[in-house]
Amino acid sequence: MEINWITVSAQVVNFLILVWLLKRFLYQPVIRAMDRREQKIQNRMDEANSREQEAIHEKQSYQQKLAGFEKERDDLLEETRQEARQTRSQMLDQAREETARVRSHWMREIREEKTAFIDGLRHQSLDVVETVIRKALQDLADEHLEDRIAHTFVRQLHTLDDATREAMRRSSEPATVATSFELDPAQRGTLTRSIHELIGADLTVNYTRAPELICGIELTCESQRISWNLSDYLDELSASIERAFEPLEPTGAGG
Amino acid sequence: MTITPDSIVYWQWGDFELNATIVFTWLVMVLLTAGSWLVTRRLSDGPELSRWQNLLEVLVVGIRDQIAQVSHQQPGPYLPFVGTLFLFIAMANLLNVIPGYLAPTGSLSTTTALAICVFVAVPVFGIASKGAGAYLEHYIKPTALMLPFNVIGEISRTVALAVRLYGNIMSGTVIVAILLSLTPYFFPVVMQLLGLLTGMIQAYIFAILAMVYIASATSAHEHGEPDENQNKTSPEQ
């Protein structure tokens, strides 16, 4: 057990060289490689984390967008429903109005037709009645219709109340007798006499033709009016014809 | 019977003897360096590793972990020194299974050289870490009276370091030699295996003790002489 100091110094040098060699060829390269690997792993982890964050962020953004789309869709749907309801109600209203309009138009036409028919009927029946009466008077009593009309009118003048007579008597204007037919001078004389007797002797009497007075005669003085004509009798006929039409008219007619 | 490889001299020039210790030390150095170079010239930093790179990484990481565990400090500055102590001693002892090989660690000259390296490295690391004043101060703690004892302790533990390794390796060689003469054939093989185990343990012990001494010198709260168990209780940095 002896120590060779020269060998000891050589071994010290050898050991120091070995330390340097291993540091150069073993520790540094291995540690560097491990550090690089760790760095790579860290980078990948960072990248993965950032991608995950990005993915989460994108997911959230897509979810938000999706929610926005759904809301928008719901809103649109609701809006469309609302519009459809409004349109439906508008169309229903229009249809109702149209129906009512058509109905009222139709009713008006019916009424007009009815009125025209009744007027026509009245006019025709007037002619017929006039002819029949004229003929009947001629055949039965050998009298003229005009005479009977004038006679009836004079009889009507007899029934006038005092106030009317007084009003006519005080009139400054002349009295006017309108007839649908031409009066002969004898008839005019009779009428003038009757008027002078019954109303006032000073009253001037003029005679005019008025074809609109159907088979009738009319006295106008001041604001008083006395008349007789056949249409009064025909009013009864018109009323009964209108009554006959009533069941045909639609119930509850609005216009 | 050869007790120390120092006595086998291959070549001599003046006082310098090229003995077996130096030759086999060179062999170990070449093996370690060449092996490292072969593996580390093509290192992969990706996920795929060669087996040899994996082995080296396991070794380096293991040594780093041990240093960090013992010193509670960053292993970086100490790794080359302590790691090389371990690798050199372990490789020198491991090659003992080769017939005709004489472990350089079986020479007191080698173990003395290693112990001297540790003896020098402790103050170097200590001063580098704490500064000369703070480092030298711990020799006169708790009182200046302790200075001689601290110095003696410093020297004695170095001697113990050298002799422990030398004794263990040398005894293994000697025991095998003795057993060969008493019970040849099989029994010495068992002792060889035991010798391998002892060799690895001694490499570990030497490196760890060196680290403990260095750690005690670089640690800020050290008082007095560190011992082999102090690494368990030394406060954390």
* B32 chain-A contacts, CB cut-off 8 A: 18, 21-22, 26
Q: What single DSSP character describes residue A221?
A: E
Identity of the residue in B21, B32, B45 whose CB atom sits nearest the CB atom of A37: B45
* Nearest-CA distance B70 → chain A (Å): 19
CB contact set of A110 (below 8 Å; sequence gap of 6+): A249
Best mean pLDDT range from A92-106, A193-207, A223-237, B93-107: A92-106
pLDDT of residue B228: 44
pLDDT(B145) > 80? yes
Helix (H) or strand (E) holding A179: strand A175-179
Identity of the residue in A2, A6, A34 whose CB atom sits nearest the CB atom of B17: A6
Distances (CA, A) of A137 to A143, A156, A230: 6, 20, 15
pLDDT tens profile B54-105: 898 899 999 999 999 988 888 888 999 999 999 999 999 899 888 888 888 8
Residue B228: which domain range? Answer: 5-233
Q: Measured between alpha carbons, how far is B108 from B129 in angstroms, rounded to an integer?
A: 31
CB atoms within 10 A of CB B192: 16
Of B78, B47, B38, the C-alpha closest to B60 is B78
ipTM above 0.90, yes or no: no
**Torsion of Cα atoms, B187 then B192 then B194 then B200, to 10°:** 180
pLDDT(A233) > 70? yes
Which residue does chain A place closest to B118, by CA atoms? A12
Which residue does chain A place closest to B108, by CA atoms? A3
Q: Measured between alpha carbons, how far is B134 from B145 in angstroms, rounded to an integer?
A: 18
CB of A45 within 8 Å of a chain B CB? The answer is no
Q: Measured between alpha carbons, how far is A2 from B170 in angstroms, rounded to an integer?
A: 13
Q: Are residues B177 and B189 in contact, defined by beta-carbon separation less than 8 angstroms? A: no
Domains of chain A: 118-248 (3.30.2320)
Number of CB pairs, chain A paired with chain B, less than 8 A apart? 123
Q: How many domains are contained in chain B?
A: 1
CB of A12 within 8 Å of a chain B CB? The answer is yes
State the distance between the two ends of chain A, measured CA to CA, in whole angstroms: 146
pLDDT tens profile A192-206: 888 888 887 778 888
pLDDT tens profile A121-176: 877 877 787 788 778 877 887 777 788 888 888 888 888 888 888 888 887 778 88
Identity of the residue in A6, A16, A20 whose CB atom sits nearest the CB atom of B16: A6
